[in-house]
Structure formats: C-alpha cells, structure tokens
Amino acid sequence: MFTGIIEQTGTIVGLKDLGPRPGGVKRLTVAAPGVARRLREGDSLAVSGVCLTALEVNPEFFHADLAAETLARTSLGSLAGGSLVNLELPTAAGAPLGGHIVQGHVDGTGTLVSLEPVVARDDPDFNHETTDWWLTVRVPEHVRRFMVEKGSVAIEGISLTIADSDAETIRIAVLPLTYWRTNLHALRAGNPVNIEADVLVKLAYARMDAEAKPALELTESWLVASGY
C-alpha cells in the first residue's frame, strides 16, 4: 500500500519488448539513484502511481516488467526516454498515513487539460518558484462517478484533493512543493496522466450497486433449472 506522498522523481531510460513480438510484456528501465539504493529484487514500488516489482536492481537503476494490462491502463508504455516519473516506496506498517490509501492499481489514464499558476504570469507578484497552481484533468468516463468534491484522488501517484468538478473534468489546487518535487512541472497540456480513484469511494459505490440489485425471486422454473 502507498499513500501518494512522492519521495523523488526518476528518469525513464528505456522500454523494450521482452518477447519476439511487440504487444507483449515490456521491460522498463528507470534511473533513480536515491530510491534504487533502498530496493531489493522483488520489492514493490509505485512508478507514477503504478505498483510494479523491482528487477535487476543496482545503486543507480532498477527495471520492472509491464504486463499487457498495465500497458493498456496506464501511460507508462507511451513514455519516451528522459521522461520524469514519480516514485514512492510502500508505506511501512505503523507509519503515518500522510496522504490517503493508494493501491497502485490505476483505473485509467486521463488527459492534462491545463496547469496554470494561481497568480497570473503578467502580475508583478508572480513568482514561478513560490506560486500555487490550478491543475485541470479530463477524467475517463468510467472513473468520473468516483470523483467526489473535496475527496481524494491519485494523479501520477500523487495524493491530491479534488477542489471541484464538472461533467468531464476535475480541478485541483497544487502547492509549490508538490509542483516542483513531482513530475507535474514537466507535464504539458495533452499529456496522459494515470488516475486512481479513492478506493473507499469505489467500495461505497460497489455496495450501493449491490444493494440496488433486485432481490432474487424464487420461482418454480428457477428451482427446477437449478436442480431443486
């Protein structure tokens, strides 16, 4: 389990096919000197919100295999060499829960619509290093109902709070520390971003959906078909 508190960014070195044909498992290589020194083969970590298993670890790099499901649901397969990714190691038992419960199970990719400073760039008080930012993201249709105003969401693995939303997008206030310590400052409008809805909201909806289903009606034909 993770909490969405990013420890550092890493840099994509490469992504290659492991099998003889494209479309199968790919191996990702990430340069991450700080985090890599703390990893062992087989450890879990979150890469831009995606829970992966570290392979072939050395003090400067680690590798991870991406299954077809991971490639289909996340942005990792489309990242070019040199792209920044957010890194987080699992939360130790008993450690403070600084963000919210993040599983590393990405629900889908959204699209970054805009990331603009709260203070206008032409304002005399504008300071690129200290201003906070408004992040707007278009959310995939199947994830939208889990976007709750003032609720939590993980974007690129970062624990964030939804300020407001409309039919397609969510808007989030981003502090300067978050902007500069994560890969947000390197993203541009149109870039895909990994989204994981709050698991507690998803569980609440699952329960409501189950309760909304009509009760099973025991009919003679159903009993006969079921072998009674």
Return averaged pLDDT per consecutive 10 residues of the chain, 228 residues in all.
95 88 84 93 97 95 95 94 97 85 96 93 81 96 95 98 96 96 97 96 88 70 68
pLDDT given at position 19:
72
Query: What is this structure's pTM?
Result: 0.88
The domain locations on the chain are: 8-88, 108-212
Q: Which CATH architecture has domain 108-212?
A: Beta Barrel (2.40)
Q: Cα–chain-centroid distance for residue 56?
A: 24
Size of the chain, expressed as the number of residues it contains:
228
Topology of the domain covering 8-88: Elongation Factor Tu (Ef-tu); domain 3 (2.40.30)
pLDDT given at position 228:
59
pLDDT given at position 144:
96
- Taking a C-beta distance cutoff of 8 angstroms, is the pair 170, 128 a contact? no
pLDDT given at position 211:
79
Nearest C-alpha neighbor of 65 from the set 48, 51, 79? 51
**What per-residue string of b and e applies to 116-149 under the rule 16 or more CB within 10 Å gives b?**
ebebeeeeeeeeeeebebebbbbbeeebbebbbe
pLDDT given at position 125:
80
